[in-house]
C-alpha cells in the first residue's frame, strides 16, 4: 500500500500550522534581541548627549524604555501562556500584539528628530550607521513573520522620511545642503533592498516549515501504515488461532467417530448422524471463513437486482426447517408477498445467518421468520424463544470471533456469523436492529431499503479501508 503523498497545494491545516511555526520562530529571536535594543538605546544616548536637546533626548529615552517594557511584557506573556501551545494560540498571540513592532520602529524612527541636521556630521554618521544596522538586524529578527517585518521596516522608513521632510521643507524651506537629498535617496533605496531581502529570507523560512509539515505528515502516514500492517498481522494471528480452536472440536469428533465406527461397525446407524453433524460444523466454519476472507480482501461481488421475498424465504425455509424440527422446535414463516432491490445471494446469506443463530441458540419453543411492510421499506424479522442476549453484550456480538460468555450450550459457535451479517448489511444499506430479553428470546429486524449499486460498492471499499486503518 502506497503511503499518503503530501498535497502539492497547501491545505488550510498546513497553512495554519506553518503560520504558527513562523510566529514561534519570530518569538524565539525576540528573546535575545530585546536586550540588544537596550544596548542601542544606551549608545544613542551617549552619542547624542552633547549634541541633542537634553529635554528631547530624555523624552525619547523614556519613550524607548516604554516600548522596550511593552516588548518585555509581551515576551513574558508568550513564555508563560503561549510558547508550548499550538498554532492557533500563536496566531492569536501575534494578532493581539501586531502593533508592537511598528510601535518599536516608530520609536527608533523618531531618533532622526534628535540628530538629522542638528548634530555634527560625525555624530550623524554614527547615528545613521546604527539605524542601518538596526534595520538590517531586523531582517534576521523579523523575517520569519512577513507582516511584522514589513510593518517594522515601513514604519521605520516612513517615520525617518517624514521627520527629514519636515526638517528640509518646513524648517529649512528647502534651503539646506544638497547631501540631504542624497540621504533621502539612499534611504529609499536601502528601504526597498531590505524589503526584498527580507521577503526572500521569509520565503526560505516558509518553505522550510512547509517541508517540515509534509515530512511530518509522511512520517505519520508511514507510522499509520506500519501500525496497520502490524494490526493486520495481529488480526490474522487471532483469526488463525480462533479458527484452529473452533475447527479442532468437530475434526477431533470426526476422528473419534471414525475410530469408533471402525471398531464397532454395528453402531453405524447411531454414529452416522453424529459424523454428519460434525461434517456440517466443519463446512459451516469454512463457509464463514471464506465469507470473511472475501469481505476483508474487498473481492466481494455485488449483483443488485429485484428480489422476490416469498421465494427467498421459501428457499431458506427448505434449508433450515429440518434443523429446527430436529431439535423439536416449531418453525413458522409468514410472508407478505413483495419485492425488494438488493443482492439476492448476500441478502440470503444475511437472513440465513440470522436464522441459523436462532436455531442454534433456541432449545425450546420455536422460530418465526416474517416479511412485512413498513414506512421505510420491506422488513424481514427473525423471532426466537432462545436464551436471549443481555444488553451489555448486544453491541459486542457483532464483533468478529465474539461469543457471549454467559450462554451455556453455545460453545460450538464460531463468533463469525453476526460479524458477517453486520458487514453485509452495512454494505447493502439495510439497517439491522436488535431487541432481546435474556431467557425470553430475541428478534432481529432487517429493513431492506433499496440498494444503490454505486453506493454499495463505495461502502464495500470503505469497509475494507476501515478494517485496514483501524487502531
Give pairs for 14-19: CB < 8 Å, separation 24+: 14/210, 14/213, 14/214, 16/87, 16/88, 16/91, 17/87, 17/209, 17/213, 18/206, 18/209, 18/210, 18/213, 19/87, 19/90, 19/91
**Whether residue 271 has pLDDT greater than 50:** yes
Q: What is the pLDDT of residue 71?
A: 87
> How do residues 149-203 score in pLDDT, each as one tens digit?
999 999 999 999 999 999 898 888 888 888 889 999 999 999 999 999 999 999 9
Give the Cα separation of 213 and 136 in Å (integer): 29
pLDDT of residue 281: 61
How far, CA to CA in Å, does 230 sit from each of 224, 225, 226, 234, 447? 10, 9, 6, 6, 37
pLDDT at residue 377, rounded to an integer? 78
Tens of pLDDT, residues 356-390: 888 888 989 999 999 988 777 789 999 999 888 88
Q: What angle do CA 17, 22, 28 make, to 5 degrees?
A: 125
Give me the residue label for grid cell 494490526. Answer: 231
Give the pLDDT confidence of 214-244 residue by residue, as tens digits. 898 889 888 888 887 776 676 666 655 555 5
The pLDDT of residue 89 is above 80:
yes
Residue 423 has pLDDT above 70, yes or no: yes
Whole-angstrom Cα Rg for the chain: 41
Residues of the chain above pLDDT 70, percent: 80
pLDDT digits (tens, 9 = 90+) for 407-419: 544 445 556 678 7
Reported for 296-300, long-range contacts at CB under 8 A and 24+ positions apart, including other chains, are 296/464, 296/467, 297/464, 298/460, 298/461, 298/464, 300/346, 300/427, 300/460
| Among the listed residues 139, 107, 122, the one whose alpha carbon sits nearest the alpha carbon of residue 40 | 107
CB-CB neighbours of 262 under 10 Å: 8
Q: pLDDT grade, residue 279 (50/70/90)?
A: confident
From CA 426, how far away is CA 381, in angstroms rounded?
Answer: 17
> Judging by DSSP bridges, how do beta strands 441-448 and 377-384 pair with one another?
antiparallel
Average pLDDT value for the chain: 81
d(CA 448, CA 373): 10
- Higher per-residue pLDDT: 169 or 2: 169
All cell numbers assigned to 3: 503511503
Sign of the four-CA dihedral 236, 238, 241, 246: negative
The CATH number of the domain covering residues in 305-469: 3.30.565.10
Q: What is the 3-state secondary structure (H, E, C) of the chain?
A: CCCCCCCCCCCHHHHHHHHHHHHHHHHHHHHHHHHHHHHHHHHHHHHHCCCCCHHHHHHHHHHHHHHHHHHHHHHHHHHHHHCCCCHHHHHHHHHHCCCHHHHHHHHHHCCHHHHCCCCCHHHHHHHHHHHHHHHHHHHHHHCCCHHHHHHHHHHHHHHHHHHHHHHHHHHCCCCCCCHHHHHHHHHHHHHHHHHHHHHHHHHHHHHHHHHHHHHHHHHHHHHHHHHHHHHHHHHHHHHHHHHHHHHHHHHHHHHHHHHHHHHCHHHHHHHHHHHHHHHHHHHHHHHHHHHHHHHHHCCCCCCCEEEEHHHHHHHHHHHHHHHHHHCCCEEEEEECCCEEEECHHHHHHHHHHHHHHHHHCCCCCEEEEEEEEECCEEEEEEEECCCCCCHHHCCHHHCCCCCCCCCCCCCCCCCCHHHHHHHHHHHHCCCEEEEEECCCEEEEEEEECCCCHHHHHHHHHHHHHHHHHCC
Q: What is the pLDDT of residue 1?
A: 38
Task: Name the one residue in this structure whose C-alpha cell is 450450550.
Answer: 409
Q: How confident is the model at residue 331 (pLDDT cuts 50, 70, 90)?
A: very high
- Please give the pLDDT value at position 277: 66
Which is more confidently placed, 60 or 298? 60
Residue 6's pLDDT is what?
44
Q: Which burial class, exposed, middle or buried, applies to 95 when counting CB atoms under 10 A from its CB (0-12, 13-18, 19+)?
A: exposed
Tell me what pLDDT residue 161 has. Answer: 93
Domains of the chain, residue spans: 12-224, 239-295, 305-469
Amino acid at each position: 500500500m502506497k503511503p499518503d503523498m503530501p498535497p502539492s497545494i497547501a491545505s488550510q491545516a498546513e497553512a495554519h500550522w506553518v503560520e504558527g511555526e513562523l510566529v514561534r520562530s519570530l518569538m524565539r529571536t525576540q528573546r535575545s534581541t530585546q536586550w540588544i535594543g537596550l544596548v542601542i538605546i544606551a549608545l544613542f544616548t551617549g552619542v547624542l548627549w552633547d549634541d541633542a536637546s537634553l529635554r528631547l533626548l530624555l523624552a525619547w529615552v523614556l519613550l524607548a524604555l516604554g516600548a522596550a517594557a511593552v516588548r518585555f511584557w509581551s515576551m513574558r506573556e508568550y513564555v508563560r501562556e503561549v510558547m508550548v501551545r499550538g498554532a492557533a494560540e500563536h496566531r492569536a498571540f501575534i494578532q493581539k500584539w501586531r502593533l508592537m513592532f511598528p510601535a518599536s520602529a516608530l520609536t527608533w524612527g523618531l531618533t532622526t528628530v534628535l540628530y538629522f541636521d542638528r548634530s555634527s556630521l560625525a555624530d550623524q554618521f554614527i547615528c545613521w550607521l546604527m539605524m542601518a544596522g538596526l534595520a538590517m538586524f531586523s531582517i534576521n529578527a523579523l523575517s520569519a513573520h512577513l507582516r511584522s517585518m514589513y510593518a517594522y521596516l515601513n514604519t521605520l522608513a516612513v517615520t525617518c522620511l517624514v521627520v527629514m521632510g519636515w526638517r528640509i521643507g518646513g524648517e529649512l524651506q528647502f534651503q539646506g545642503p544638497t547631501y540631504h537629498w542624497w540621504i533621502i535617496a539612499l534611504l529609499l533605496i536601502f528601504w526597498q533592498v531590505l524589503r526584498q531581502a527580507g521577503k526572500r529570507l521569509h520565503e526560505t523560512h516558509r518553505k522550510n516549515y512547509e517541508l517540515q509539515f509534509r515530512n511530518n505528515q509522511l512520517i505519520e502516514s508511514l507510522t499509520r501504515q506500519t501500525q496497520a500492517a502490524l494490526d493486520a498481522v495481529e488480526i490474522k494471528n487471532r483469526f488463525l488461532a480462533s479458527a484452529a480452536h473452533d475447527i479442532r472440536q468437530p475434526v477431533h469428533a470426526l476422528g473419534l467417530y471414525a475410530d469408533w465406527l471402525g471398531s464397532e461397525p454395528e453402531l453405524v446407524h447411531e454414529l452416522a448422524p453424529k459424523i454428519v453433524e460434525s461434517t456440517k460444523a466443519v463446512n459451516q466454519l469454512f463457509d464463514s471463513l471464506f465469507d470473511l476472507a472475501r469481505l476483508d480482501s474487498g473481492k466481494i461481488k455485488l449483483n443488485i437486482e429485484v428480489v422476490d421475498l416469498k421465494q427467498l424465504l421459501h428457499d431458506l425455509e427448505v434449508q433450515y426447517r429440518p434443523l429446527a424440527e430436529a431439535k423439536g422446535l416449531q418453525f413458522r414463516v409468514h410472508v407478505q408477498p413483495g419485492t425488494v432491490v438488493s443482492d439476492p445471494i448476500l441478502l440470503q446469506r444475511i437472513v440465513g445467518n440470522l436464522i441459523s443463530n436462532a436455531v442454534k441458540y433456541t432449545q425450546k419453543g420455536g422460530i418465526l421468520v416474517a416479511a412485512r411492510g413498513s414506512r421505510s421499506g420491506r422488513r424481514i424479522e427473525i423471532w426466537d424463544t432462545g436464551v436471549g442476549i443481555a444488553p451489555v453484550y448486544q453491541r459486542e456480538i457483532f464483533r468478529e470471533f465474539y461469543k457471549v460468555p454467559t450462554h451455556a450450550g453455545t460453545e460450538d459457535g464460531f463468533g463469525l456469523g453476526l460479524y458477517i451479517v453486520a458487514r453485509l448489511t452495512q454494505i447493502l444499506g439495510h439497517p439491522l436492529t436488535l431487541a432481546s430479553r435474556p431467557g425470553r428470546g430475541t428478534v432481529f429486524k432487517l429493513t431492506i431499503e433499496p440498494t444503490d449499486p454505486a453506493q454499495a460498492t463505495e461502502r464495500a471499499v470503505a469497509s475494507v479501508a476501515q478494517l485496514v486503518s483501524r487502531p
